[in-house]
């Protein structure tokens, strides 16, 4: 230890002058910095800094406004208010009282939102002078506060002029229509409008494909150099698979409507009744005395009495989402018409052979026949209507009606639509995107995914003659027609097949299930 100390001491003494010099410089610089903020020369330094800052500010402001004018801007913060924000902008107590009194006829302070912008305009030279205060209620609406000749505070409302621009947008649906439109710079409100235009043509919840594409021209509302809102979609095209859906807004009439290039309305109307002949025996009500249960309970539909076997029609175009049997409703069909409307048909005696879950149906198409299955006192159709997933009274609800272009306006519309269509942006073909992305999936991934859906109960496995396997989305108990020429399976409801006797399974074996296959030929 002594040897180490003796070796260290000479080295320390040799380097002491250098260390002391560095230490002195550090203390000197630190004192200068401290002196600038807390010493006797603080005022002089602050003045010199403000002069320098003022020169810089003057140069930037003069080039923008001239005459030394500048803005002081504040936002109403959370847990703050209008008066406190004015105080932060260096208004005196008396001035704040006068400003509040002046703007009171134009502003409801209880509804003044957080982040409302307050902008004070001042002049820095030759004398500091207040010019105006603007309160931004919205991008279009402002309240301006100024001082009169006698020093009194005056307030007035200022509405910015709104200009309309027409802008083009297009995109390709990779993950969803929503993501695609947002990526293109569209507002969610415009995306909602786009889906509403084609709601009768496309089910955007189920039918959107990763290779779909779209293009639109839409109005933009501008005020004060900023976009404040979106206007009407003037023309739109949506490519769903290999089908092109087209729409043009025709401004004739109240609000304007959308039509295809031939002048056909994109809105579809519903049939007034799902039966051609029948009488109403029970209406939509919240409290109805049930003839079987002998209690009062809601009746969310309309009952049509008709002879057994009377054809039932789909009241509108749509897709069959359910085809099943229940204890209460008996044989039931449910149809989704678009993203808003659905209908249900209950107590059927049998389904039409062409109707199966997942298939599209047309307005007026026979989907089944009147019966008395389920909890029923006699042959009738229980008809239900849903809007946004909620029951509505089909007899008391005003549904959208098909609007036709008048004959005298049809020629002018076609000419108008032709001219508008020219302004649409070029298509972004989804096929090119699919080639570019070049997605590849291993067979193992596909099989694992299918079996995962099967194990979760979303798919059922159907074997045909031991050499063909199908995966069916209908997981209920049912049988099948099999078309050997087209390899198509068609569902048969379990109630339509009667099996009277099943032989015993061989020794050591159990019957897994019983499936009936009826072979078809042309």
Q: Which of 195-209, 347-361, 403-417, 499-513 has the lowest mean pLDDT?
A: 195-209
Are the CB atoms for 404 and 257 separated by under 8 Å?
no
Over residues 432-445, the mean pLDDT reads 54
Inform me whether the pLDDT recorded for 83 exceeds 70. Answer: yes
Gap between the Cα atoms of 347 and 327, Å rounded = 10
Inform me whether the pLDDT recorded for 504 exceeds 70. Answer: yes
Q: Quote the pLDDT of residue 309.
A: 93
Count other C-beta atoms under 10 Å from residue 327's C-beta. Answer: 8
Can you give the three-state secondary structure of 96-112, one letter per residue? HHHHHHHHCCCCCHHHC
**% the chain with pLDDT above 90:** 22
Calculate the average pLDDT of the chain. Answer: 78
Give, in degrees to the nearest 5, the angle at Cα 454 between 450 and 458: 105
- Do the first three CATH levels of 56-159 and 161-267+402-438 match, i.e. the same topology? yes
Compare 311 and 177 and report the one with higher pLDDT.
311
Compare 275 and 427 and report the one with higher pLDDT.
275
The residues, any chain, with a CB within 8 Å of residue 61's CB and separated by 6 or more, are 68, 69, 70, 124
Q: Quote the pLDDT of residue 217.
A: 94
Q: In the chain, what are the domain boundaries?
A: 56-159, 161-267+402-438, 279-392, 440-520
Q: Quote the pLDDT of residue 168.
A: 92
Q: Residue 39 — very low, low, confident or very high, per pLDDT cuts 50/70/90?
A: very low
Compare 346 and 492 and report the one with higher pLDDT.
346
Q: What is the CATH code of the structural domain delimited by 279-392?
A: 2.70.70.10
Q: Residue 55 — very low, low, confident or very high, per pLDDT cuts 50/70/90?
A: very low
243 beta partners: 240
pLDDT tens for each residue of 136-163? 887 778 899 998 888 889 999 988 888 8
Residue 309 main-chain phi, psi, to 5 deg: 95, -5
Inform me whether the pLDDT recorded for 169 exceeds 70. Answer: yes
Gap between the Cα atoms of 373 and 346, Å rounded = 8
Over residues 348-375, the mean pLDDT reads 92
Q: How many residues comprise the chain? A: 522
Over residues 493-515, the mean pLDDT reads 82
pLDDT tens for each residue of 335-352? 998 888 999 999 999 999
**% the chain with pLDDT above 70:** 76
Inform me whether the pLDDT recorded for 331 exceeds 90. Answer: yes
Over residues 119-145, the mean pLDDT reads 85
Q: Residue 38 — very low, low, confident or very high, per pLDDT cuts 50/70/90?
A: very low
Give domain 161-267+402-438's CATH number out of 3.40.630.30, 3.90.330.10, 3.40.50.620, 3.10.450.350. Answer: 3.10.450.350
Over residues 90-98, the mean pLDDT reads 91
Inform me whether the pLDDT recorded for 324 exceeds 70. Answer: yes
Which architecture, in CATH terms, is 56-159? Roll (3.10)
Gap between the Cα atoms of 230 and 187, Å rounded = 8
**Separation in Å, CA 223 to CA 164, 230, 320:** 9, 12, 47
Gap between the Cα atoms of 194 and 198, Å rounded = 7
Q: Residue 125 — very low, low, confident or very high, per pLDDT cuts 50/70/90?
A: confident
Over residues 431-455, the mean pLDDT reads 61
pLDDT tens for each residue of 467-484? 667 777 776 778 888 877
Q: Quote the pLDDT of residue 166.
A: 92
Are the CB atoms for 208 and 195 separated by under 8 Å?
no
Nearest to 155 by CA among 116, 82, 83, 102: 102
Q: Quote the pLDDT of residue 291.
A: 62
Inform me whether the pLDDT recorded for 372 exceeds 90. Answer: yes
Q: Residue 288 — very low, low, confident or very high, per pLDDT cuts 50/70/90?
A: low
Q: Quote the pLDDT of residue 330.
A: 94
């Amino acid at each position: 230890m002594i040897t180490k100390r003796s070796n260290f001491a000479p080295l320390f003494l040799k380097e002491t002058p250098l260390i002391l010099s560095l230490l002195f410089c550090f203390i000197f610089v630190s004192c200068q910095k401290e002196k600038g903020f807390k010493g006797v020369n603080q005022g002089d330094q602050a003045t010199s800094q403000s002069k320098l800052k003022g020169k810089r500010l003057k140069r930037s402001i003069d080039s923008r406004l001239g005459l030394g004018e500048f803005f002081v801007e504040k936002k109403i913060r959370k847990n703050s208010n209008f008066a406190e924000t004015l105080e932060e902008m260096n208004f005196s107590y008396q001035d704040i009282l006068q400003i509040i009194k002046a703007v009171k006829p134009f502003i409801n302070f209880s509804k003044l939102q957080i982040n409302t912008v307050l902008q004070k305009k001042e002049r820095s030279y030759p004398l500091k002078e207040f010019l105006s205060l603007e309160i931004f209620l919205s991008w279009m609406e402002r309240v301006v506060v100024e001082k009169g000749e006698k020093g009194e505070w005056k307030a007035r409302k200022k509405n910015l002029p709104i200009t309309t621009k027409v802008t083009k947008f297009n995109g390709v649906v990779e993950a969803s229509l929503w993501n695609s439109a947002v990526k293109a710079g569209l507002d969610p409100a415009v995306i909602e409008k786009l889906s509403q235009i084609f709601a009768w043509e496309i089910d955007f919840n189920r039918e959107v494909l990763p290779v779909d594409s779209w293009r639109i021209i839409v109005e933009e509302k501008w005020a004060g150099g900023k976009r404040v809102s979106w206007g009407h979609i003037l023309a739109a095209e949506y490519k769903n698979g290999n089908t092109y859906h087209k729409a043009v807004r025709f401004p004739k009439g109240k609000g304007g409507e959308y039509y295809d290039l031939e002048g056909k309305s994109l809105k579809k109307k519903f049939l007034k009744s799902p039966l051609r002949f029948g009488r109403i025996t029970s209406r939509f009500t919240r409290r109805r005395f049930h003839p079987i249960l002998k209690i009062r309970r809601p009746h969310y539909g309309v009952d049509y009495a008709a002879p057994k076997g009377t054809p039932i029609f789909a009241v509108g175009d749509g897709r069959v989402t359910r085809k099943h049997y229940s204890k209460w409703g008996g044989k039931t069909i449910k149809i989704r018409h678009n993203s808003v409307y659905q209908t249900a048909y209950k107590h059927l005696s049998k389904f039409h052979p062409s109707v199966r879950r997942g298939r599209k149906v047309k307005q007026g198409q026979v989907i089944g026949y009147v019966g008395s299955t389920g909890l029923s006192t006699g042959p009738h159709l229980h008809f239900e209507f849903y809007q946004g997933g909620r029951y509505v009274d089909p007899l008391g609800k005003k549904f959208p009606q098909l609007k036709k272009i008048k004959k005298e306006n049809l020629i002018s519309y076609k000419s108008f639509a032709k001219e508008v269509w020219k302004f649409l942006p070029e298509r972004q073909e989804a096929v090119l995107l699919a080639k570019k992305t070049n997605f590849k999936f291993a067979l193992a991934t596909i099989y694992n995914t299918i079996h995962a859906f099967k194990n979760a109960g979303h798919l059922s496995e159907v074997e045909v003659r031991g050499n063909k396997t199908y995966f069916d989305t209908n997981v209920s108990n049912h049988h099948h027609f099999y078309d050997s020429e087209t390899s198509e399976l068609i569902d048969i409801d379990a109630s339509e097949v009667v099996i009277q006797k099943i032989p015993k399974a061989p020794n050591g074996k159990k019957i897994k299930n019983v499936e009936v296959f009826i072979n078809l030929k042309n």
